[in-house]
Amino acid sequence: MISKNEKQKIIYKYITDNNLENFFVKKHHKSKYSLNEYIEAFVFFIDNNLTYSSYDSIIKKGKLKFPLRTSLHKFINTLSELEIMKKIYTSTVNTDVEKSNILLIDSTFIQNKNNSCIVDRNYYYYNKKGIKLTVIGDEKGIPIYTNIISANVNDCKIAHELIDSIPKKELTNKILIGDAGYHSKKLKKAVNKKKCKLLTPINIRNKKKQTSTLEIKKIDKKNIPRKCVNRQNNYKKIKNRGIGKKKNILYNKRIEIEHLFAKVKKNRLMFLKDRITSHIVTFLFYRFVELFS
């Protein structure tokens, strides 16, 4: 994990190198706090998983000399509008990450009740409102491509849009590994167009095979119901392919992206009522920069 001082240096360096200081500290206005103090307050705010009310109470007690709640909110708004954390992350990934041939894809649900144009209800998460985060990462669990969309959209549709947005050069001769939710013919065609291979376990819902006439005759002789035979055949296929979590090779490869979601979801700020989507993106990529080391 990166230390607080290193995080502050990374953000400060990006703002100064791109001449974005005027967006945060205006020269004609006498501001009490410098850019470094604003960045320090922002890092303190996220690292401790504080709300604006809890942050305000800490300042009023006089424990820390940080900018006020309203000024910090404006600072976060400007970070969100300029997409600074996202750009910092993409620049670090492009320069420092070793390009691997294996890519991992997965999506997760992030609860967010209000104040977002993307928010929608998800039937599979007790009909709660939220957004869906889709990530394509490498073997080490470092996210390379991300997409945020409403929570009620199917994983395959999101993956299709994300793969279409990625240039062909970046996916050629690579293997994309996903779970059974990404097992579809349309997605496979989209991935093959980019000269990339898609590896997923078989989704039984997508592959319903009808029994042949010979199998029906055998069933009639033994007086066994057809449903039981179909279940047995499906179970044999699954057993042979080793889709069980302990024996599955694909699951062992995908475990890094599961760890990534677990670490990202620790941040309580993503689950608050009053959090805007642009703020979620800011906090999300801040966590990605943190995990990058």
pLDDT for 201: 81
CA atoms within 13 A on the CB side of 56: 7
* Best CA proximity match to 188, nearest among 105, 99, 100: 105
Q: How far apart are CA 15 and CA 60, in angstroms?
A: 29
The fraction of the chain above a pLDDT of 70, given in percent, is 69
Q: Say which range, 235-239, 263-267, 289-293, has the weakest mean pLDDT.
A: 235-239
- Residue 39: per-residue pLDDT: 92
DSSP structure class, residue 33:
S
pLDDT, tens digit, 9 for 90 and up, residues 59-82 = 888 777 888 888 888 898 889 888
pLDDT at 292 over 80: no
Report pLDDT for 241.
Answer: 45
Annotated domain spans of the chain = 4-82, 99-201+245-272, 208-242
Residue 160: how many CB atoms within 10 A of its CB? 18
User: What is the average per-residue pLDDT within 51-66?
Assistant: 83
Which token pair is 185? 């013919």
pLDDT of residue 34: 87
What was the pLDDT predicted at 191? 92
Q: What angle do CA 232, 236, 238 make, to 5 degrees?
A: 115
Least confident of 27-36, 58-67, 283-292: 27-36
Residue percentage of the chain with pLDDT more than 90? 7
- Residue 2 pLDDT: 65
Domain 99-201+245-272 has CATH 3.40.30.10: no
C-alpha closest to that of 69 among 85, 87, 54, 88: 54
pLDDT band at 206; cut points 50, 70, 90? low
Q: What are the residues facing 216 on neighbouring strands?
A: none
Mean pLDDT (whole number) for 20-37: 76
Structure tokens at 199: 């590896």
Q: Say yes or no to pLDDT of 262 above 50.
A: yes
The structure's pTM equals 0.71
The yes-or-no verdict on residue 36 having pLDDT over 80 is: yes
List own/partner pairs for 274-278 with CB under 8 A and 24 or more apart: 274/114, 274/115, 275/112, 275/115, 275/116, 276/80, 276/115, 276/116, 277/112, 277/116, 277/117, 277/118, 277/119, 277/131, 277/148, 278/80, 278/81
- Assign 114 a pLDDT band (cuts: 50, 70, 90): low
Q: Tell me what pLDDT residue 132 has.
A: 82
The tokens describing 201, both together, are 């376990």
Is it the case that residue 228 has pLDDT exceeding 80? no
Position 123 scores a pLDDT of 55
User: How does the average pLDDT of the chain come out, rounded?
Assistant: 75
Range 204-227 average pLDDT = 49
